[in-house]
Structure 1
Amino acid sequence: MSSKLIYNEQQYTLDANKTLLENLESQSVSVEFHCRDGHCGACRSILVSGDVTYSNFPMAYLKEGEILLCCSRSEKNITIKTI
Protein backbone atom coordinates (compact mmCIF):
# COMPACT_ATOMS: atom_id res chain seq x y z
CA MET A 1 0.00 0.00 0.00
CA SER A 2 1.47 3.38 -0.99
CA SER A 3 1.48 6.39 1.28
CA LYS A 4 -0.63 9.44 0.52
CA LEU A 5 0.08 13.14 0.60
CA ILE A 6 -2.98 15.29 1.17
CA TYR A 7 -2.34 18.92 0.25
CA ASN A 8 -5.12 21.48 0.56
CA GLU A 9 -7.69 18.67 0.61
CA GLN A 10 -6.40 17.05 -2.61
CA GLN A 11 -4.83 13.57 -2.41
CA TYR A 12 -1.59 12.57 -4.15
CA THR A 13 0.70 9.54 -4.09
CA LEU A 14 3.70 10.09 -1.82
CA ASP A 15 7.23 9.11 -2.90
CA ALA A 16 9.37 8.92 0.26
CA ASN A 17 12.53 9.48 -1.81
CA LYS A 18 11.45 13.00 -2.78
CA THR A 19 10.90 16.12 -0.73
CA LEU A 20 7.30 17.16 -0.23
CA LEU A 21 7.89 20.01 -2.69
CA GLU A 22 9.25 17.57 -5.30
CA ASN A 23 6.26 15.28 -4.71
CA LEU A 24 3.84 18.11 -5.40
CA GLU A 25 5.78 19.35 -8.43
CA SER A 26 5.79 15.83 -9.91
CA GLN A 27 1.98 15.92 -9.70
CA SER A 28 1.89 19.35 -11.47
CA VAL A 29 0.90 21.20 -8.31
CA SER A 30 2.13 24.79 -8.21
CA VAL A 31 3.74 25.65 -4.86
CA GLU A 32 5.43 28.90 -3.81
CA PHE A 33 9.16 28.40 -3.19
CA HIS A 34 12.49 30.14 -3.75
CA CYS A 35 15.55 28.48 -2.24
CA ARG A 36 14.88 24.70 -2.06
CA ASP A 37 17.15 24.34 0.98
CA GLY A 38 15.21 25.70 3.95
CA HIS A 39 16.54 29.26 4.10
CA CYS A 40 13.81 31.53 2.79
CA GLY A 41 10.60 30.05 4.23
CA ALA A 42 8.53 30.71 1.09
CA CYS A 43 7.22 27.12 1.07
CA ARG A 44 6.14 27.21 4.73
CA SER A 45 3.02 25.11 5.26
CA ILE A 46 0.97 23.77 8.14
CA LEU A 47 1.39 20.14 9.15
CA VAL A 48 -2.14 18.91 9.86
CA SER A 49 -1.20 15.27 10.48
CA GLY A 50 1.77 12.99 9.99
CA ASP A 51 5.50 13.37 10.53
CA VAL A 52 8.39 14.81 8.53
CA THR A 53 12.14 14.50 8.55
CA TYR A 54 14.45 17.18 7.17
CA SER A 55 17.18 16.54 4.62
CA ASN A 56 18.63 19.98 5.49
CA PHE A 57 18.13 21.71 8.82
CA PRO A 58 15.60 24.48 8.12
CA MET A 59 17.12 27.92 8.71
CA ALA A 60 13.84 29.80 8.17
CA TYR A 61 11.86 30.59 11.30
CA LEU A 62 9.03 28.11 11.86
CA LYS A 63 6.17 28.36 14.32
CA GLU A 64 4.94 25.21 16.02
CA GLY A 65 3.04 23.07 13.53
CA GLU A 66 4.74 24.59 10.47
CA ILE A 67 7.04 22.78 8.05
CA LEU A 68 9.07 23.65 4.96
CA LEU A 69 8.10 21.64 1.89
CA CYS A 70 11.44 22.15 0.13
CA CYS A 71 13.58 20.17 2.56
CA SER A 72 11.15 17.81 4.32
CA ARG A 73 10.22 14.24 3.51
CA SER A 74 7.70 11.77 4.85
CA GLU A 75 7.40 8.00 4.63
CA LYS A 76 3.84 7.75 5.91
CA ASN A 77 0.52 9.38 5.16
CA ILE A 78 0.70 13.12 5.67
CA THR A 79 -1.76 16.01 5.50
CA ILE A 80 -0.58 19.57 4.95
CA LYS A 81 -2.13 22.87 3.95
CA THR A 82 -0.89 26.26 2.87
CA ILE A 83 -0.67 29.12 5.31
Structure 2
Amino acid sequence: MKKLLGIVVLGLLLSGNAYAEMESLPEGTTVNQLIKDGYKLIDTDSVAWSDNDGYGSVGTFYHLMKRNELVTCGVGNGKVSCWKP
Protein backbone atom coordinates (compact mmCIF):
# COMPACT_ATOMS: atom_id res chain seq x y z
CA MET A 1 0.00 0.00 0.00
CA LYS A 2 2.86 2.39 0.81
CA LYS A 3 4.46 1.69 -2.57
CA LEU A 4 1.21 2.41 -4.38
CA LEU A 5 0.77 5.68 -2.49
CA GLY A 6 4.37 6.63 -3.26
CA ILE A 7 3.89 5.95 -6.97
CA VAL A 8 0.69 8.03 -7.06
CA VAL A 9 2.32 10.97 -5.24
CA LEU A 10 5.40 10.82 -7.45
CA GLY A 11 3.23 10.70 -10.57
CA LEU A 12 1.28 13.76 -9.46
CA LEU A 13 4.47 15.68 -8.70
CA LEU A 14 5.97 14.92 -12.09
CA SER A 15 2.84 15.76 -14.09
CA GLY A 16 2.02 19.06 -12.41
CA ASN A 17 3.29 21.31 -15.23
CA ALA A 18 2.24 19.10 -18.13
CA TYR A 19 -0.75 21.25 -19.04
CA ALA A 20 0.76 24.69 -18.49
CA GLU A 21 -0.32 27.33 -21.00
CA MET A 22 2.10 28.56 -23.60
CA GLU A 23 2.17 32.17 -24.74
CA SER A 24 2.33 32.34 -28.53
CA LEU A 25 4.26 35.23 -30.02
CA PRO A 26 2.63 37.30 -32.77
CA GLU A 27 2.39 35.71 -36.21
CA GLY A 28 5.30 36.80 -38.37
CA THR A 29 7.85 36.70 -35.54
CA THR A 30 11.15 35.29 -36.84
CA VAL A 31 14.33 33.99 -35.28
CA ASN A 32 16.32 36.81 -36.90
CA GLN A 33 13.95 39.39 -35.44
CA LEU A 34 14.34 37.93 -31.95
CA ILE A 35 18.15 37.94 -32.27
CA LYS A 36 18.02 41.62 -33.29
CA ASP A 37 15.85 42.24 -30.20
CA GLY A 38 18.63 40.93 -27.94
CA TYR A 39 17.83 37.23 -27.66
CA LYS A 40 20.76 34.82 -27.86
CA LEU A 41 20.51 31.52 -29.69
CA ILE A 42 21.27 28.81 -27.13
CA ASP A 43 20.30 25.58 -28.92
CA THR A 44 18.90 24.11 -32.13
CA ASP A 45 17.25 20.74 -32.73
CA SER A 46 16.36 19.11 -36.02
CA VAL A 47 13.35 16.82 -36.14
CA ALA A 48 11.71 14.60 -38.74
CA TRP A 49 8.29 13.02 -38.70
CA SER A 50 5.96 11.09 -40.93
CA ASP A 51 2.40 12.22 -41.59
CA ASN A 52 -0.58 9.92 -41.99
CA ASP A 53 -0.42 10.35 -45.77
CA GLY A 54 3.00 8.67 -45.86
CA TYR A 55 5.01 11.81 -46.62
CA GLY A 56 7.81 12.87 -44.33
CA SER A 57 8.54 16.34 -43.05
CA VAL A 58 11.61 17.96 -41.55
CA GLY A 59 11.70 20.85 -39.11
CA THR A 60 14.01 22.75 -36.80
CA PHE A 61 13.49 24.08 -33.28
CA TYR A 62 15.42 27.17 -32.18
CA HIS A 63 15.74 27.94 -28.47
CA LEU A 64 16.57 31.56 -27.65
CA MET A 65 17.08 33.29 -24.32
CA LYS A 66 17.11 36.90 -23.10
CA ARG A 67 17.81 37.29 -19.38
CA ASN A 68 15.68 34.50 -17.87
CA GLU A 69 13.10 34.47 -20.66
CA LEU A 70 13.08 31.43 -22.96
CA VAL A 71 11.53 31.51 -26.44
CA THR A 72 11.23 28.49 -28.72
CA CYS A 73 10.63 28.80 -32.45
CA GLY A 74 9.65 25.90 -34.67
CA VAL A 75 10.27 26.00 -38.41
CA GLY A 76 8.69 23.39 -40.62
CA ASN A 77 7.04 23.26 -44.03
CA GLY A 78 7.99 26.91 -44.63
CA LYS A 79 6.14 28.17 -41.53
CA VAL A 80 7.66 29.77 -38.41
CA SER A 81 5.88 29.64 -35.03
CA CYS A 82 7.36 31.04 -31.83
CA TRP A 83 6.15 30.68 -28.25
CA LYS A 84 7.17 31.10 -24.63
CA PRO A 85 6.79 27.91 -22.61
TM, length-normalised to structure 1? 0.27
The structure that is strand-richer by fraction is: 2
TM, length-normalised to structure 2? 0.26
Which structure has the greater CA radius of gyration?
2
Higher relative contact order (CA 8 A, sep 6+): 1
The structure that is helix-richer by fraction is: 2
